[in-house]
Amino acid sequence: MNATDTPSPDFPEVAGLADRVHALQPLTKFERRILDRLMESPEQPVAYAATQLAMYGTQVHGHVTSNVTQVMVCRLRKKMAAAKQGWTIATEKQQGYRLAKTEQNAQLDAAEQTS
């Protein structure tokens, strides 16, 4: 079972996000794995090592000098922006990556709560 099957109870709109993005902007298997991992805990930082683990499916030992993960996240951000689903990937310094609502999506949520 992956993150698309069990949405976070606090963020039901995340359910199926990867499928919606993929339908509009095809994702590679590594991009999909990263997005699935981030969807497991929206708005919560996911450690860099956990992101790499999700990508490669195995424990990453030692310091990874390659920027493959950063490149995959950069490409995924662009695809998510083009798909306009209201979510992006934020970088949390010295922590990792976080699936975050876009500013526009957050403003819509705030307006709904005040109505």
Average confidence score pLDDT of the chain: 82
Give all strands (DSSP E) within 1-115, no chain letters: 46-47, 87-92, 96-101
pLDDT of amino acid 47: 93
**What pLDDT, on a 0 to 100 scale, did the predictor assign at position 58?**
72
Alpha-carbon dihedral sign for residues 18, 22, 26, 29: positive
**51 vs 46: CA distance, rounded Å:** 7
User: Could you tell me the fold of the domain covering 12-114?
Assistant: Arc Repressor Mutant, subunit A (1.10.10)
Tell which wins on pLDDT, 47 or 112.
Answer: 47
pTM for this predicted structure: 0.79
CB within 8 A of 31, min separation 6: which ones? 72, 75, 76, 79
For the segment 63-114, what is each residue's pLDDT rounded down to a tens digit? 555 688 899 999 999 999 999 999 999 999 999 999 999 887 655 555 555 6
Window from 26-30, 37-41, 62-66, 73-77 with minimum mean pLDDT: 62-66
All structural domains of the chain with their residue ranges: 12-114
Contact residues for 106 (Cβ-Cβ < 8 A; gap 6+)? none
Identify the weakest region by mean pLDDT among 3-12, 34-43, 95-104. Answer: 3-12
